[in-house]
Amino acid sequence: MTAAEVERPAGVRRLGKGVTRGIRAWGPPTLLLVGLLAVWEIAVRSFGIKQFILPRPLAIAETWVTYLPELYAAARYTFLEILAGLVIGATAGIVIGIVTARYRFMQDSLMPFAVAASSVPILAFAPLFNNWFGLDQQLSKAMVAAVLCFFPVMINTVRGLTNVDARALELLRSYAASEAAVFRKLRVPNSLPFVFTALRLAVTLATIGAVVGEYFAAPRSSLGQYIATYSAFLNFERSWAAIVFACIIGIGLYLIVAIAERVVMPWYDRQAEWR
């Protein structure tokens, strides 16, 4: 009845203290990263580790700056593949997931295959995809990324739509709610945390799929070929510089998904899962 009666669970986000919270959240990991890079730099120098075993971070940074234009062009090429793969894979996963969740027989017949397929090393098919969709085509790499994304997104969509509280279903039954209303008001919101979990996974998988797909066949100006070619020439600083770009893409996409999640599900506290 009074404000004092409100219990504030540990997960309550306090608005207004955004900056303090930002420093608290980002400070420790940033410090750790800088520390690790420093240890790396010092270790390579003091133990005299050879460049082709492990280049120094500063040397990588130098290479990164020197070759920025061509690295950027390669990254742009690969980024498009990742993005296309994500859009194709996630859309197909959500759509087929919705259809599967709707029909019991589809769940019974499709889900075992989907679960089995998601534990198949799909990357092993990458050379075949190159064969099907064109060796130096972006489409072939996008398709590897798409297939990698598809299964987790589809499986989680089905789980999110079907794993609803039986009591909530009963409540809606007492309101004489239509199937459509149950879908919109219960199943969809219930599935969002599941779908976003899958999307977080999907951005990582799409990045891996595209880059590794390029190892087998792609134009010179792609991150995968860049990494593979300069590794072959023992010019590891340039491989590392391209890997840094791949990391930036992967982390960037992950952050976009995380932000979208906050916007779409302001009520959901993912950090509570870790506690």
Q: Which residues of this protein are in contact with another protein, per CB under 8 A?
A: 1, 3, 5-9, 11-12, 165, 167-168, 170-177, 181, 185-186, 189, 192, 265, 267-268
Nearest approach, Cβ of 104 to another protein (angstroms)? 18
Residue placing its CB nearer to another protein in the complex, 63 or 197:
197
Kindly give, in sequence order, each residue whose CB lies less than 8 Å from that of residue 236, ignoring residues fewer than 6 positions away: 51, 52, 55, 230
Q: Nearest CA to 143 among 114, 123, 160, 115?
A: 123
Kindly give, in sequence order, each residue whose CB lies less than 8 Å from that of residue 244, ignoring residues fewer than 6 positions away: 60, 64
Nearest approach, Cβ of 98 to another protein (angstroms)? 18
**Look-up of token digits 């010092």:** 42
Residue placing its CB nearer to another protein in the complex, 29 or 170:
170
Residue placing its CB nearer to another protein in the complex, 98 or 265:
265
Residue placing its CB nearer to another protein in the complex, 113 or 175:
175
Nearest approach, Cβ of 173 to another protein (angstroms)? 6
Nearest approach, Cβ of 157 to another protein (angstroms)? 17
Residue placing its CB nearer to another protein in the complex, 233 or 267:
267
Contact 194, 160 (CB under 8 A): yes
Nearest approach, Cβ of 262 to another protein (angstroms)? 13
Residue placing its CB nearer to another protein in the complex, 121 or 266:
266
Nearest approach, Cβ of 260 to another protein (angstroms)? 15
Report phi then psi at 164, rounded to 5: -105, 155
CB atoms within 10 A of CB 59: 16
Residue placing its CB nearer to another protein in the complex, 194 or 226:
194
Kindly give, in sequence order, each residue whose CB lies less than 8 Å from that of residue 67, ignoring residues fewer than 6 positions away: 238, 241
Nearest approach, Cβ of 50 to another protein (angstroms)? 55
173: its two tokens = 């039954």
Q: Is 274 exposed, middle or buried (0-12, 13-18, 19+ CB in 10 A)?
A: exposed
CB atoms within 10 A of CB 158: 25
> How many angstroms separate the CA atoms of 124 and 38, rounded?
37
